[in-house]
């Protein structure tokens, strides 16, 4: 079981690096679907979450559906509608981005090491990948111009926070109502961003956030 959770986390890390290095938006959406599924599967293979009840199983199913299917589906439609294929001139180039991603992994390993948490021993990799995902999400939001890539960055960041939550909190999965609320908020957030995205596209003929610069002091 433990090796399986490590394998899943490795896939999450890879998906983060891939998302940093890919310039095709369709590929990005597919990567996000993979990442969403992997992230929602992670808690199932962790030791302290073994005793799952019916409610928890249901929650995980809903979660996989939302993170792996519904949200990528919404993004997919958004990419189709705005009819752009790729991020043209990112603020930070792709090779540099991947390099920064690798640095983030090192940094996260360093942070995890310094935290001296009295955690179950197999959690080191979990925390490393969680912090990396969070950092990469933030980086993606800052280093890309297209609005849709920023949404994807936000999603990556949320995945990272969710992983940190599973890594740190032992009691997270006792209140399904609460978990479900968080998930619902995320879903609505992506939907609203999608709607604005569509409107940015029709108002400016592009989804470049550099065009959003009228309001300032």
Partner 1 sequence: MLELVFILPILTGIMASFLPVQLGRGVLVVSALLHLQITAMGWFGTLDLASTSYFKTAPEGMLVLLVTSFIFLFISIYAVSYMKETEMDNEPIFIGCMLFFLAAMSMVALADHLIVLWIAIEATTLVSAPLIFLNRSKAALEATWKYVLICSVGIALALLGSFFITLSMDLGNVHVPLTFSSLTAVAGQLDHVWLKAGFIFVIIGYGTKMGLAPMHTWLPDAHSQAPSPASALLSGALLNCAFLGVYKVHILMHAAGMGDYSSNVLIVFGLLSMVVAGIFILNQPDYKRMLAYSSIENMGIIAFGVGVGGLATYGAMLHLIHHSLIKSSLFLSAGNILLGYGTKLVNKIGGMARLFPKTFGTFFAGFAGISGFPPFGIFISELLIIIGAFRSERYVSVSIFIFSLILIFAGASRIVMRMSFASTDQKVLVEEKMMRVVPSFVLLLTSLALCVWLPDQLYQTIINAISVIGGTVNG
Residues of this chain that bind partner 1 (CB under 8 A): 117-118, 134, 138, 141, 147, 150, 154, 157-158, 161, 164-165, 168-172, 175, 177-178, 181-182, 184-185, 188-189, 192-193, 196, 199-200, 203-204, 209, 212-215, 217
Is the CB of 30 or the CB of 201 nearer to partner 1? 201
Residue 45 in contact with residue 1, Cβ under 8 Å? yes
Q: How far is the CB of 19 from partner 1 (least distance, A)?
A: 17
In the complex, the smallest distance separating the C-beta of residue 115 from partner 1, rounded to whole angstroms, is: 9
- Select 100 or 168, whichever has its Cβ closest to partner 1: 168
Tell the smallest beta-carbon distance from residue 163 to partner 1 (Å). 10
26 vs 23: CA distance, rounded Å:
9
Identify which of residues 100 and 119 has a Cβ nearer to partner 1 in the complex.
Answer: 119
Give the pair of three-digit tokens for residue 81: 């509608």
Q: Which is nearer to partner 1, 13 or 190 (CB)?
A: 190
User: Which one, 23 or 209, has the nearer CB to partner 1?
Assistant: 209
Q: How far is the CB of 3 from partner 1 (least distance, A)?
A: 26
CB of 200 to partner 1, least distance (A): 6
Determine phi and psi for 208, rounding to 5 degrees.
Answer: -80, 125
Nearer to partner 1, 100 or 141 (CB): 141
């Amino acid at each position: 079981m433990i090796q399986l959770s490590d394998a899943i986390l490795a896939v999450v890390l890879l998906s983060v690096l891939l998302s940093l290095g890919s310039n095709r938006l369709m590929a990005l959406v597919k990567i996000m679907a993979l990442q969403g599924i992997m992230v929602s599967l992670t808690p199932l293979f962790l030791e302290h979450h073994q005793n799952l009840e019916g409610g928890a199983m249901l929650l995980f199913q809903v979660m996989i559906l939302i993170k792996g299917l519904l949200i990528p589906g919404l993004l997919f439609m958004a990419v189709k509608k705005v009819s752009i294929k790729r991020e043209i001139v990112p603020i930070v180039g792709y090779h540099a981005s991947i390099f920064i991603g690798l640095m983030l992994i090192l940094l996260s390993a360093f942070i995890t090491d310094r935290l001296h948490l009295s955690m179950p021993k197999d959690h080191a990799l979990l925390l490393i990948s969680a912090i990396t995902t969070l950092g990469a999400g933030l980086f993606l939001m800052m280093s890309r111009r297209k609005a849709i890539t920023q949404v994807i960055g936000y999603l990556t960041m949320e995945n990272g926070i969710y992983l940190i939550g599973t890594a740190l909190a032992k009691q997270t999965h006792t209140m399904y109502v609460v978990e479900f609320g968080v998930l619902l908020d995320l879903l609505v957030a992506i939907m609203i961003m999608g709607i604005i995205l569509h409107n940015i596209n029709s108002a400016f003929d592009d989804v470049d956030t550099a065009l959003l610069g009228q309001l300032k002091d």
